[in-house]
Structure 1
Amino acid sequence: MLDTCSKPITGIDAHAHVFSRELKLATARRYTPDYDATLAQYLEHLQTHGLSHGVLVQPSFLGTDNRYLLAALRQAPEQLRGVVVLERDVSRTVLDDMARLGVVGVRLNLMGKALLDFRDAVWRDFFGHLAELDWHVELHRHAEDLPGLIRQLMPFGIKLVIDHFGRPDARLGTDQPGFAELIELGLSGRVWMKVSGIYRLAGTDQQNLEFARASLSLLEQSFGPHRLVWGSDWPHTQHEKNVGFDTVISQLQALQCSAPLKHALLVEAPRSLFRF
């Protein structure tokens, strides 16, 4: 067991993954890792960069087999929270067991998939359980499709978290289809945004950073600083060769956040959302 004594929150990384290349991978996947991303490595990154806590998100290539993530939560329960991937017919008993281990949300990674209709009655029980547990639903999809999905999910009364700035295209500016609407939906008070994965925004490094700066200003006005959280996205799958933990820390600094906004991003907002 790792040291799990309660430690003061100096910074929370709201998005990271752990896995081993030896694990059984999902048959339908967009990516196959050829390396391990272990909990020990991750915790060392946190310590090196003055961060105290982290949120582990189930990677899509492991499908709904969350055992590796749950084992990590058991090793550092005070320091970690988890976001899992589930079948919609999962039992309440399984959900309750996961909640006791520190799971606080479910990820719907819809990249490269046919759009779902969450208004269909087959989703009612699933989202009902999540609402009762006060878990959030994390959406990973390109910006143009997010507003419609968000509107479908709002009647369930669950907290919604958007991955990686909403995966806009940095080359198209902040008024591109879906993104401006997404900014407006921030006013609802029910949606959180992960300020993460700047290198996933489809432009050059400079275009991505400039877009991230411009959109962060809009997000702060609409969502408010207490519904924005920062994530490292370690180990930066599909971008490992040119992105590391140092890279994303440098990108965070390059956003030129005010001290209050940075504290909200790293401490106040994630402490509340992930229930540390």
Structure 2
Amino acid sequence: MNRRQFQAAMASTLLPPLQTGCASTAQRDESLHLAAVDTHAHVFRRGLTLARERRYAPDYDALLADYLGMLDTNGIARGVLVQPSFLGTDNSFLLAALAQQPARLRGIAVVAPATPMAELRRMDGLGVVGIRLNLVGGAALPDFADGAWRGLLRRVADLGWQVEVHREAADLPRILPPLLQAGVNVVVDHFGRPAPAQGVRDPGFQFLLDAGASRRVWVKLSGAYRNGGNEAGQQIALAATPLLRNAFGLDHLVWGSDWPHTQFESKVDYAHARQALDASLPDPGARHAVLVDTPATLFRFT
């Protein structure tokens, strides 16, 4: 038994059984099966150059072939690859993956503020549709008033790209306003990362709800397990989803698997990540909007 098989076996013992098979659910809706989008996943392999400052480095491979197999098994047509934080601004592995599946994949890169437009345009041609600010875990917030950041955000806006934000909810009031003022669209990861002890009462999460009125912020219904252990994260997701739906509308919500669930590999698998959306959005029409309609436009699959 290899590492991945062991992790899958562990996940099946740690999580409750599925009520219905996720792949069979998708297959019952052929239009969803042909068009659904997973908006948050990572690919990498051992031996790649790692960022000097990192919180974590995996000791296994998460290859494109593995990810595409997960999509096929779970009835998901297309995916968005997000540059993992531990690879820093070296997006070469991500870009190589996009080049292999240009119709099926899009990408979110991590770049330095001084990255020139020519390089951004090259990435755009390969399927990159935005940049990520992975600021979780106490990382210093960017000084968006700095000239280099202003220039980067102007270039991102000119390309029509998004800025994806991963940060605890408490700091969203300091992050979202300058990004919106810079004219970029913003996608907030993992339900906005409310504090586990506060859940939807977190003032930062409440600020995020207010940001829905801007119509330039989207939220990923993804990685619920990152918002609290022992099922607390999923309970927060169940409470947060109707609030987010009311504040943003289904046209500003998307779903992501967060595959391969870094640091949570033994506690969750792809099928359960997919089923979590069914639990929080039981209405098939709502799921179709979140899985198909909204991400197709936001990530330029149409």
TM category, shorter: over 0.9
Partner of residue 59, structure 2: 34
CA apart distance, 1:9:
4.1
Partner of residue 47, structure 2: 22
Supply the distance in 1 between the matched residues of 2:48 and 2:234 (Cα, whole angstroms).
35
- Which of 259, 262, 271 is residue 237 of structure 1 equivalent to? 262
SS of equivalent to 2:48:
coil
Cα deviations by residue, 1:28-70 (Å, 9 ceiling, x for unpaired): 1100110000000000000000000000000000000000000
Kindly indicate whether residue 71 of structure 2 is the aligned counterpart of residue 46 of structure 1: yes
Supply the distance in 2 between the matched residues of 1:126 and 1:259 (Cα, whole angstroms).
39
Q: Which amino acid aligns with 1:275?
A: R
Equivalent pairs counted in the alignment come to 269
- Which of 253, 265, 270 is residue 290 of structure 2 equivalent to? 265
Which ranges in structure 2 are unaligned for 5 or more consecutive residues?
A: 1-32
Q: Report percent identity of matched pairs.
A: 50
Partner of residue 192, structure 1: 218
- Which of 152, 171, 180 is residue 126 of structure 1 equivalent to? 152
CA apart distance, 1:117:
2.3
Supply the distance in 1 between the matched residues of 2:34 and 2:214 (Cα, whole angstroms).
28
- Which of 133, 136, 139 is residue 165 of structure 2 equivalent to? 139
Q: Residue 133 of structure 2 contacts residue 166 of structure 2 at CA under 8 Å; is this kept in 1?
A: yes
Kindly indicate whether residue 211 of structure 2 is the aligned counterpart of residue 182 of structure 1: no
Partner of residue 86, structure 1: 111
Supply the distance in 2 between the matched residues of 1:74 and 1:252 (Cα, whole angstroms).
29
- Which of 199, 205, 218 is residue 173 of structure 1 equivalent to? 199
Structure 1 residues 30 and 63, CA, compared in 2 at 3 Å: closer, same or farther? Answer: same
Greater helix content: 2
Supply the distance in 2 between the matched residues of 1:122 and 1:76 (Cα, whole angstroms).
32
SS of equivalent to 2:259:
coil
Q: Which amino acid aligns with 1:246?
A: A
The alignment yields a C-alpha RMSD, in angstroms, of 1.4
- Which of 116, 121, 127 is residue 102 of structure 1 equivalent to? 127
Q: Residue 82 of structure 2 contacts residue 107 of structure 2 at CA under 8 Å; is this kept in 1?
A: yes
Supply the distance in 1 between the matched residues of 2:197 and 2:181 (Cα, whole angstroms).
33
Q: Which amino acid aligns with 2:77?
A: S
Cα deviations by residue, 1:159-212 (Å, 9 ceiling, x for unpaired): 10001011112431312121111111111101000100011012421x222211
Q: Which amino acid aligns with 1:109?
A: N
Cα deviations by residue, 1:65-93 (Å, 9 ceiling, x for unpaired): 00000000000000000000000101111
Partner of residue 225, structure 1: 250
Supply the distance in 2 between the matched residues of 1:97 and 1:117 (Cα, whole angstroms).
26
Q: Residue 144 of structure 1 contacts residue 177 of structure 1 at CA under 8 Å; is this kept in 2?
A: yes
Partner of residue 12, structure 2: none
- Which of 256, 275, 289 is residue 250 of structure 1 equivalent to? 275
Q: Residue 228 of structure 1 contacts residue 269 of structure 1 at CA under 8 Å; is this kept in 2?
A: yes
